[in-house]
């Protein structure tokens, strides 16, 4: 196996272990690591979203079979996120790499801080499925989350955390977000394919192989490691990688 592909396999394996245990952070972690390796932001996002197209499809199918989805919530998120994701992808493609890189790193830094904050708080009041409709805030959350996800990842931490924090049952929040994610990743990956290609790039192949190999072990990781500790560690790693990127720009 090509040595560089092997590196991407390790990245995909590690990120999928975390995502399998927490239901989030795959894209954010992959993006932060690949950017730290010096890969251009558009190539990073295209590779990560192309790999997630396959994993999100499998995840969405599983949640559909297990009836973990609030379809009103899922459809409301998906429609708005697809629009935001396409806009974010086009923005990333047409921006100069040297200009956009520090902004993406700054966004990831804030996202890492947010993830650490979520690991330290647990103030959630759960309501029953269907108590209220998606409302106006759901598509707004979806649009901006989709746009930011195309630029630097973060769909899971942003959307799932916000939905659970406002009282959505975790089962339906995670199931609905994972199912809507398939449509979002499809739209973003298709936008990158239409502009810069990259469907069978070694980044995509490596991340996919690593993700498939790690998929069976996510639940086991959740059993042996406290989820809040794992979230804190992941957030800390994303913060460190982002600061490293910013230091290369400003120091």
User: Long-range contact list for 13-17, CB < 8 A, 24+ apart?
Assistant: 13/210, 13/211, 13/213, 13/214, 14/210, 14/214, 15/207, 15/210, 15/211, 15/214, 16/55, 16/210, 16/211, 16/213, 16/214, 16/215, 16/218, 17/214, 17/217, 17/218, 17/221
The conformation of residue 123, written as its DSSP 8-state character, comes to -
What is the three-class DSSP state of 52?
helix
Tell me which residue range forms the domain holding 225. 3-250
Model confidence at 123: pLDDT above 60: no
| 34, 165, 244 from 251: Cα distances, Å | 21, 38, 10
Q: Which residue has the higher pLDDT, 223 or 131?
A: 223
- Residue 6 CB burial class (10 angstroms; 0-12, 13-18, ≥19): middle
Nearest in space to 156 (alpha carbons), one of 27, 21, 62: 27
pLDDT at 179 over 70: yes
Number of domains in the chain: 1
Neighbours of 124 (CB within 10 A): 12
pLDDT at position 129, please?
Answer: 52
Mean pLDDT check: name the lowest of 77-81, 98-102, 195-199, 210-214.
195-199
Structure tokens at 86: 């396409």
pLDDT of residue 125: 46
Please indicate whether residue 36 or residue 227 has the higher confidence score (pLDDT).
36
Sign for the CA dihedral angle at 120, 123, 127, 130 comes to: negative
Residue with the bigger pLDDT between 237 and 19: it is 237
Contacts of residue 194, defined as CB under 8 A and 6 or more positions apart, other chains included, come to none
Model pTM score? 0.75
């Amino acid at each position: 196996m090509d040595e560089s592909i092997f590196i991407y396999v390790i990245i995909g394996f590690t990120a999928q272990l975390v995502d399998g245990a927490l239901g989030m952070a795959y894209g954010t972690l992959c993006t932060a690591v690949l950017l730290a390796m010096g890969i251009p932001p558009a190539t990073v996002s295209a590779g990560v979203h192309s790999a997630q197209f396959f994993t999100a499809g499998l995840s969405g199918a599983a949640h559909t079979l297990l009836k973990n989805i609030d379809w009103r919530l899922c459809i409301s998120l998906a429609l708005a996120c697809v629009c935001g994701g396409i806009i974010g992808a086009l923005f990333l493609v047409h921006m100069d790499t040297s200009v956009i890189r520090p902004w993406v790193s700054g966004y990831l830094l804030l996202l890492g801080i947010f993830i650490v904050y979520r690991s330290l708080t647990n103030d959630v009041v759960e309501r029953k499925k269907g108590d209220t409709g998606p409302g106006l805030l759901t598509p707004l959350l979806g649009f901006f989350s989709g746009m930011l996800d195309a630029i630097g990842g973060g769909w899971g931490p942003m959307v799932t955390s916000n939905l659970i924090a406002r009282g959505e049952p975790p089962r339906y929040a995670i199931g609905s977000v994972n199912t809507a994610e398939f449509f979002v990743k499809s739209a973003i990956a298709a936008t990158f394919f239409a502009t810069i290609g990259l469907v069978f790039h070694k980044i995509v192949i490596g991340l996919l192989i690593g993700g498939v190999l790690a998929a069976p072990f996510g639940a086991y990781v959740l059993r042996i490691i406290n989820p809040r500790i794992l979230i804190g560690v992941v957030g800390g790693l994303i913060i460190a990688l982002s600061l490293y990127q910013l230091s290369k720009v400003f120091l």
